[in-house]
């Protein structure tokens, strides 16, 4: 082991130029509910019953929202079921397993061959869909969506699936990802008479289908998908068919599974953002939907075609392996657990340090920490315990105490940490504020040294492909050196996994998956975006030291 890549902190004094003061507060806004035409749509608002907080400042507010520890936010999860007598309930279970991909709203649309009914609400899947609600969603086909808003405002207005009665018939759609060429498409559609009902980029796809001059619906869908750029893993449903498609770069995962029919019944086909959704349904993973592929399931079986006009380089999101996806999922042809453990091992090889204990920042740091401990030979233990029952908001004490928000969610195990040199493993540092609180917490519990290790490279650029990232001026690594960040978070040393180490970890040992280091998007670590369009304002760095 060597520690050549770690940065020791010479002292623990607070930096002169504080990035926390530079971080702008994030605004979130809600609009009133709206329905779409031509379908049976019901809207539920489960957030109204939640506790609200009082007397908090901007930093505390940041701690209270759905993202537990200064993390990038998951984008969305999609699910589809074809050919099951209780398709809505199957979709519900799938969404339940995909809840980590978005906790702001969820929806299910079900089709019984004649009608499409959709129900959407703000809140968690389990809060929105009770037995009574699921009973209102009859049919053998269903699609579902769980969402954290990435474009459009974060309102019920933009909850999905979006259902639209169009000249091509009734279409319901659920989308994971972000489109990046909205301006031209939207203006052209509006000139052609399109009236947008939401501010979500997903509606662009539906409008393009409705305005396509192709003869068949499947041609119209392929035509519309070939006109948009960016990230999309989508599931669509008409009254009698299910469609699933992935953008030509393959940014977001989307897999297909099958449940064998019993007693001569036909098989059920399922699609999900992650394969962990299949396990609850006893569905067997069949394959990934390929980048640029449009899959259709109908009474004639499963058919597939390519919609991309040309071959584009693959750019699957490597951060899915680092943080978003569950370790029990297989995405981009590879188990997340395998990648994440290898990240920890590689991190230990690149930036080992003498210590007594490897401690993960739970939950997402656990698998990498296991890999780090195995490679380094340093014992692993759960020195930080996460409270899984903290909701999105909680009532603050009248006299606010230091770092209260983080301490509500994480608590140190003093008996493990006292007198120990601790290596903390986490998967990212975004603004740095939470990392500093965790380092302080571990030190206050008696650790003699706290070394922070991050299982990916520094995040220096925002994402435009379905991940809600702060703008560049708010990303601590975009504006400060590793040594400065180390000093800011008050660690004894700080090291990140190298880019080569990360791509190696996500490809090692599985040539059969077809993934190479070049198959991944790494733009948030490099600033090299796989698509031409980016918002230039957002990628301009702050003036350091200003």
Residues at the site binding ligand SF4, with contacts judged by CB under 6 A:
251, 317-319, 463, 465, 467, 521-524
CB of 541 to ligand SF4, least distance (A): 16
Q: How far apart are CA 171 and CA 166, in angstroms?
A: 7
* Choice between 259 and 475, CB closer to ligand SF4: 475
User: Under a CB-based contact definition with an 8 Å cutoff, are residues 363 and 401 in contact?
Assistant: no
Q: How far apart are CA 273 and CA 429, in angstroms?
A: 25
CB of 262 to ligand SF4, least distance (A): 40
CB of 427 to ligand SF4, least distance (A): 12
Q: Which residues of 241-275 are buried (b: 16+ CB within 10 A; e: fewer)?
A: bbbbbbbbbbbbbbbbbbbeeeeeeebbbbbbbbb
The alpha helices in 125-201, defined as continuous H runs, are 125-128, 131-134, 182-191
User: Which of 212, 225, 211, 209 lies closest to 177 in space, CA to CA?
Assistant: 225
Ranked by CB distance to ligand SF4, the top (closest) residue is: 463
| Secondary structure element (H or E) that encloses residue 424, with its range | strand 421-426
* Choice between 465 and 496, CB closer to ligand SF4: 465
* Choice between 175 and 437, CB closer to ligand SF4: 175
User: Under a CB-based contact definition with an 8 Å cutoff, are residues 485 and 432 in contact?
Assistant: yes
3-state secondary structure of 415: helix
CB of 197 to ligand SF4, least distance (A): 28
CB of 257 to ligand SF4, least distance (A): 24
Please state, in angstroms and as integers, the Cα–Cα distance from residue 238 to each residue in 117, 170, 172, following that order: 11, 6, 6
Q: Is 46 annotated in the active site?
A: no
* Choice between 96 and 465, CB closer to ligand SF4: 465
Q: How far apart are CA 172 and CA 142, in angstroms?
A: 9
* Choice between 351 and 531, CB closer to ligand SF4: 531
Q: What DSSP string runs through 268-301?
A: EEEEESSTHHHHHHTPEEEEEPPTTEEEEEETTE
Which residue in the list 9, 76, 276, 521 is annotated as catalytic?
A: 76
Instruction: Give the count of beta carbons closer than 10 Å to the beta carbon of residue 131.
Output: 7
- φ/ψ of 417, rounded to 5, equals -90, -25
* Choice between 271 and 319, CB closer to ligand SF4: 319
CB of 483 to ligand SF4, least distance (A): 24
CA distance from start to end of the chain: 39
- Enumerate the active-site residues: 76
């Amino acid at each position: 082991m060597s520690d050549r890549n770690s940065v020791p902190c010479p002292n623990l004094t607070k930096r002169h130029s504080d990035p926390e003061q530079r971080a702008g507060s994030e605004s979130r806004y809600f609009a009133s509910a709206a329905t779409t035409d031509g379908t049976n749509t019901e809207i539920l608002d489960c957030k109204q019953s939640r506790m609200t907080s009082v007397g908090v400042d901007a930093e505390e507010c940041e701690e209270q929202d759905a993202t537990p520890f200064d993390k990038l936010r998951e984008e969305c999860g999609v699910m589809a079921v074809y050919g099951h007598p209780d398709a809505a309930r199957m979709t519900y279970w799938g969404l339940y397993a995909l809840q980590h991909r978005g906790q702001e709203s969820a929806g299910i649309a079900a089709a019984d061959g004649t009608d499409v009914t959709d129900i959407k609400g703000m809140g968690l899947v389990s809060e929105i869909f009770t037995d009574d609600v699921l009973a209102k969603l009859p049919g053998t086909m269903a699609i579902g969506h769980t969402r954290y808003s990435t474009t459009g405002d974060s309102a019920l207005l933009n909850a999905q699936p979006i259902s639209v009665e169009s000249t091509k018939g009734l279409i319901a759609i659920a989308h994971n990802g972000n489109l990046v060429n909205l301006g031209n498409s939207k203006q052209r559609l509006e000139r052609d008479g399109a009236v947008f009902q939401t501010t979500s980029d997903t509606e662009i796809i539906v409008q393009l289908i409705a305005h396509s001059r192709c003869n068949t619906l499947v041609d119209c869908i392929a035509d519309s998908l070939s006109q948009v750029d960016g990230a999309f893993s989508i599931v669509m449903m008409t009254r009698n068919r299910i469609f699933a498609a992935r953008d030509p770069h393959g940014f977001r995962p989307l897999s297909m599974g099958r449940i064998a029919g019993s007693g001569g019944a036909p098989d059920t086909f399922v699609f999900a953002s992650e394969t962990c959704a299949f396990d609850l349904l006893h569905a067997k993973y069949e394959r990934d939907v390929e980048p640029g592929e449009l899959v259709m399931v109908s009474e004639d079986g499963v058919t597939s075609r390519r919609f991309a006009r040309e071959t584009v380089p693959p750019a699957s999101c490597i951060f899915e392996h680092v943080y978003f996806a569950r370790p029990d999922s297989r995405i981009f042809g590879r188990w997340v657990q395998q990648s994440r453990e290898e990240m920890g091992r590689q991190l230990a090889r690149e930036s080992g340090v003498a210590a007594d204990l490897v401690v993960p920042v739970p939950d997402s740091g656990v698998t990498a920490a296991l890999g780090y401990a195995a490679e380094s030979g340093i014992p692993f233990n759960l020195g930080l315990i996460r409270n899984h029952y903290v909701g999105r908001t909680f009532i603050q004490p009248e006299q606010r105490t230091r770092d209260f928000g983080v301490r509500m969610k994480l608590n140190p195990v003093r008996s493990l940490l006292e007198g120990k040199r601790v290596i903390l493993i986490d998967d990212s540092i975004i603004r740095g504020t939470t990392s500093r609180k965790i380092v302080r917490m571990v030190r206050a519990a008696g650790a003699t040294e706290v070394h922070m290790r991050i299982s990916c490279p520094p995040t220096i650029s925002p994402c435009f492909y379905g991940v809600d990232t702060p703008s560049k001026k708010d990303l601590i690594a975009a504006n400060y050196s590793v040594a400065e960040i180390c000093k800011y978070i008050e660690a004894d040393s700080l090291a990140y996994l190298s880019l080569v180490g990360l791509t190696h970890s996500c490809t090692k040992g599985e040539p059969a998956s077809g993934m190479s280091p070049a198959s991944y998007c790494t733009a948030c670590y490099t600033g090299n975006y796989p698509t031409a369009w980016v918002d230039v304002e957002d990628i301009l760095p702050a003036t350091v030291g200003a």
